[in-house]
Amino acid sequence: MAHPSAAEAAQLGRDDSKEAIDLARSGGQMYPVVTIADGADHHAQTTAFHKRWWRQQDEHWPATVSEAYNDAFTRELLDAKVAVVELAFDAAGGKKWSNVGVVDLQQWEPTFPFDPASTGWVQQDPRSRVGWRRRSMLRNLFKRKKKPDEEKSLTA
């Protein structure tokens, strides 16, 4: 089976991003990360991203074609304020796999340093204590701001 050209792969990435954005914004999420691809099972998910992700692996797309797809997909999500999260799992016997999910950055904020402009992908250990919390207007209102005098006294 022939793989797509880089231009075709980029268009596929743009098309697939629409579904991922809709899933991230589906509302009423208890958990911030909505899974869009399962790295352990070909048939576990039915999203377009999942199908193309496995297709890249199965057909051994050249690096330039995979990069064109992933860059276009990620760029569309970033423009919509959605981040891609790769949850890295390890199992018995040293087997590793990743699930890929999306997070709506308008509803959730990271509790770790994250610059969406530098990368749209976040690698995260699912057992990690850092993660995501709901954005809160009240948190920003009542956040204690240090006065310049306090900062000087803390450093002296």
* Average pLDDT for runs of 10 along the chain of length 156: 87 93 80 77 72 84 93 92 84 73 89 79 75 72 59 50
Which is nearest to 51 in space by CA: 74, 19, 22, 6?
A: 19
d(Cα 66, Cα 16) in Å, to the nearest integer?
A: 14
pLDDT at 156: 45
pLDDT at 14: 94
d(Cα 27, Cα 103) in Å, to the nearest integer?
A: 11
pLDDT at 69: 92
* Phi, psi angles (nearest 5°) of residue 112: -140, 160
**pLDDT tens across 45-76, in order?**
678 888 888 888 888 999 999 999 989 999 99
What's the mean pLDDT when you consider all of the chain?
A: 79
pTM, entire model: 0.75
pLDDT at 67: 92
d(Cα 145, Cα 124) in Å, to the nearest integer?
A: 30
Residue-range domain boundaries for the chain: 6-155
